[in-house]
């Protein structure tokens, strides 16, 4: 695999009012206008949000019913072949022939992408080594674990050395160790090999771990597209957690003029208004707020567990129905579909 920088100035994906309706009944994508720049980008949304539909349109496998799309400057509805020559695709569901070895299958996919026979064989070995399956490459795929099958799916997407990888729920079915390994691989593909990656997922924790930017969709509509750092910018609220005496501390903070809101074990304290009486000239309102909290904790002699400036969370972008947000996956917050 050759080392190279991201194809810097090329916009990876651009859509204008992209719409896809299935059979005049289900609108999977609705008037979606978005631009995706090079890097590792997360396409996040609950199950049924339209992520797979988006990927299939980008690959030229589905026709949109309205609007336009460009992938690496190409129109997938007319240049599907050229798009697929430059883009690797890892589908969500199991699609591997059980009676072929990984080496045979990945070589075959390389041939399908137009590589000559010997090159395809060499590239298959190299790619399988890269995903950690070199020793096992002559075993039949049917006997592989889920984690190994996911790696074969990743290898076949990489075999023709694409400029862009489209990965649909790449950690599907993996245990925590397998998930970590897969995320590590995706990160290396982006950072070491300079291949841009669009990762579709309903697991916010995962994409937050490895992505530079996120495109968030809900019900086929764009919620937001931005750098991850912009989505998790600091707020004007401090979080305080003490191991005991939370009620006492809340009362003391209120008494010194800090309005407090309780969120389970946390006390949330807005940063003082810079013009308020307690903030002297030369003091920053933030420092003053920290000082008042630390003084209250010290006076009450409480064990301070945490004190920091609260950040926005990506999950705040999505509908706040708690039934559709679950923290129980081991991969951070998961967005649950409405269906
Ligand atoms: N071939 C199809 N015919 C009819 N409706 C479809 C078809 N494919 C998808 N849909 C519907 O379109 C909507 C978007 O589906 P899509 O698979 O793109 O979402 P997704 O975000 O990828 O979800 P998942 O992760 O569950 O696949 C859903 O309501 C889905 O039921």
Q: Pick from 82, 189, 174: which is nearest to 127 by CA?
A: 189
Q: Is 82 helix (H, G, I), strand (E, B) or coil?
A: helix
Q: How far, in Å, are 40, 267, 292 from residue 309 at the CA level?
A: 27, 12, 14
The low-confidence residues of the chain, meaning pLDDT below 70, are: 1-9, 277-283, 319-332, 337-339
Residue of 21, 26, 64 to mutate, ligand 1, most atoms within 8 A of C-beta: 26
Q: Report the pocket of ligand 1 as residue ranges, CB < 6 Å.
A: 22, 26, 28, 45, 47-53, 169, 337
What is the distance in A from the centroid of ligand 1 to the CA of 49? Answer: 7
Query: Contact at 8 Å (CB) between 204 and 54?
Result: no
Position 193 scores a pLDDT of 86
Position 163 scores a pLDDT of 95
d(CA 36, CA 40): 10
d(CA 320, CA 336): 11
Residues 37-77: tens digit of each pLDDT = 999 999 999 888 999 999 999 999 999 999 999 999 999 99
Residue 51 sits at the vertex; the CA angle it makes with 48 and 57, to the nearest 5 degrees, is 125
Position 319 scores a pLDDT of 64
Residues 78-92: tens digit of each pLDDT = 998 899 999 999 998
Give the residue, by CA position, lying nearest to ligand 1 atom 4. 22
Strand 196-201 to 40-44 pairing = parallel
What is the distance in A from the centroid of ligand 1 to the CA of 2? Answer: 36
Position 281 scores a pLDDT of 61
Domains of the chain: 13-231 (3.40.50.300), 234-311 (3.30.70.100)
Position 93 scores a pLDDT of 86
Give the DSSP letter string of 136-186: TTTSBGGGS-HHHHHHHHHHHHHTT--SEEEEESTTTT--HHHHHHHHHHH
Query: Contact at 8 Å (CB) between 75 and 249?
Result: no
Position 314 scores a pLDDT of 83
Give the residue, by CA position, lying nearest to ligand 1 atom 30. 48
Q: Which atom of ligand 1 is nearest to the CA of 53?
A: 18
Half-sphere exposure of 81 (CA within 13 A, CB side): 2
Long-range contacts of the stretch 106-110 (C-beta < 8 A, 24+): 106/152, 106/155, 106/156, 106/159, 107/159, 109/156, 109/159, 109/160, 110/159, 110/160
Position 57 scores a pLDDT of 96
What is the distance in A from the centroid of ligand 1 to the CA of 75? Answer: 22
What is the distance in A from the centroid of ligand 1 to the CA of 50? Answer: 6
d(CA 269, CA 306): 13
Residues 6+ apart with CB under 8 A from 28: 20, 21, 22, 50, 53, 220
């Amino acid at each position: 695999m050759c080392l190279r920088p991201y194809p810097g100035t090329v916009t990876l994906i651009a859509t204008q009012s992209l719409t896809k309706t299935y059979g005049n009944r289900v609108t999977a994508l609705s008037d979606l206008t978005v631009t995706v720049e090079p890097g590792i980008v997360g396409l996040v949304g609950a199950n049924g949000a339209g992520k797979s539909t988006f990927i299939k349109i980008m690959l030229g496998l589905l026709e949109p019913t309205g609007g336009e799309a460009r992938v690496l400057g190409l129109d997938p509805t007319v240049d599907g072949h050229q798009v697929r020559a430059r883009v690797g695709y890892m589908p969500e569901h199991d699609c591997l022939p059980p009676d072929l070895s990984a080496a045979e299958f990945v070589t075959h996919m390389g041939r399908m992408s137009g590589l000559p026979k010997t090159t395809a064989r060499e590239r298959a070995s190299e790619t399988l080594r890269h995903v950690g399956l070199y020793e096992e490459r002559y075993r039949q795929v049917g006997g592989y674990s889920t984690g190994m099958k996911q790696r074969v799916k990743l290898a076949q997407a990489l075999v023709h050395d694409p400029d862009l990888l489209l990965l649909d729920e790449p950690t599907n079915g993996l245990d925590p160790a397998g998930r970590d390994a897969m995320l590590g691989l995706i990160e290396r593909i982006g950072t070491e090999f300079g291949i841009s990656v669009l990762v579709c997922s309903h697991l916010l924790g995962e994409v937050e771990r490895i992505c530079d930017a996120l495109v968030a969709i809900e019900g086929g509509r764009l919620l937001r597209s931005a750098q991850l750092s912009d989505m998790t910018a600091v707020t004007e609220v401090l979080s305080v957690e003490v191991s005991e005496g939370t009620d006492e501390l809340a009362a003391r903070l209120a008494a010194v003029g800090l309005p407090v809101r309780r969120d389970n074990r946390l006390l949330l304290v807005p940063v003082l208004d810079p013009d308020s009486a307690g903030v002297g000239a030369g003091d920053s309102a933030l420092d003053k707020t920290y000082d008042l909290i630390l003084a209250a904790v010290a006076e009450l002699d409480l064990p301070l567990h945490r004190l920091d400036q609260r950040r926005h969370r990506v999950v705040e972008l999505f509908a706040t129905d708690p039934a559709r947000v679950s923290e129980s996956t081991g991969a951070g917050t998961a967005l649950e579909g409405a269906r």
